[in-house]
């Protein structure tokens, strides 16, 4: 395993993931639930997605881009709708709500599903597959990609916890939904235009 390849992969994937929808999802989940529970689900989803990218190699890059953009756009719009129409909880300025005991699997499972679906065919997954094909060092590429994805989500989750201390939940939800609507619109336009 090459540490240089792992470090190069980490840098590329970290920068590509920063403005991604998964960071936004991590931030929103981090404002609602215990950070450790959310991170466990997200880290497991990233392990699955990196594993799929490594197994598929460069084949993921051959997916029809218009279809990927269309599905991504619809997922963004669905996510925005879920945020906007979800029953708003009372916002009393407290930190993120503590899940009830035994809800680890519920929160981690929901976080896993959200990220696993959102990341399928994502730019970082395709980049990981391309890097794996280019360097022929799947362990280094996989480790670098997984650590980068987890680092970005960890930053977003902790940022969400801190943000909630200063900004009401309803504002965070509305801003997140607006960003998701914009990203969904851009993705759908790309799907139609090609």
Q: Where are the domains of the chain?
A: 3-193
pLDDT beneath 70: ranges in the chain? 19, 56-63, 65, 68-69, 71-72, 75-76, 79, 82-83, 86-102, 161, 164, 169, 172-173, 176, 180
Q: Residues 33-79: pLDDT tens digits?
A: 888 898 999 999 999 989 888 886 655 445 676 776 676 677 667 76
CA 35 to centroid of chain Cα atoms: 15
- Expressed in percent and rounded to 5, the helix, strand and coil fractions of the chain are 80, 0, 20
Which pTM was predicted?
0.65
CA 60 – CA 112 distance, rounded (Å): 21
């Amino acid at each position: 395993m090459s540490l240089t390849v792992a470090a190069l992969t980490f840098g590329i994937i970290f920068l590509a993931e920063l403005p991604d929808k998964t960071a936004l999802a991590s931030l929103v989940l981090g404002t609602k639930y215990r950070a450790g529970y959310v991170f466990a689900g997200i880290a497991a989803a990233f392990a699955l997605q990196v594993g799929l990218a490594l197994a598929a190699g460069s084949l993921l890059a051959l997916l029809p881009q218009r279809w990927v953009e269309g599905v991504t756009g619809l997922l963004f719009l669905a996510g925005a709708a879920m945020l906007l129409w979800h029953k708003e909880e009372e916002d009393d300025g407290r930190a993120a709500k503590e899940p009830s005991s035994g809800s680890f699997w519920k929160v981690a499972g929901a976080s896993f599903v959200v990220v696993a679906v959102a990341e399928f065919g994502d730019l970082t997954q395709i980049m990981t597959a391309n890097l794996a094909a280019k360097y022929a060092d799947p362990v280094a590429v996989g480790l670098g990609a997984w650590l980068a994805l987890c680092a970005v989500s960890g930053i977003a989750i902790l940022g969400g916890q801190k943000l909630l201390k200063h900004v009401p939940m309803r504002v965070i939800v509305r801003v997140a939904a607006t960003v998701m609507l914009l990203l969904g619109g851009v993705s759908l336009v790309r799907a139609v235009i090609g």
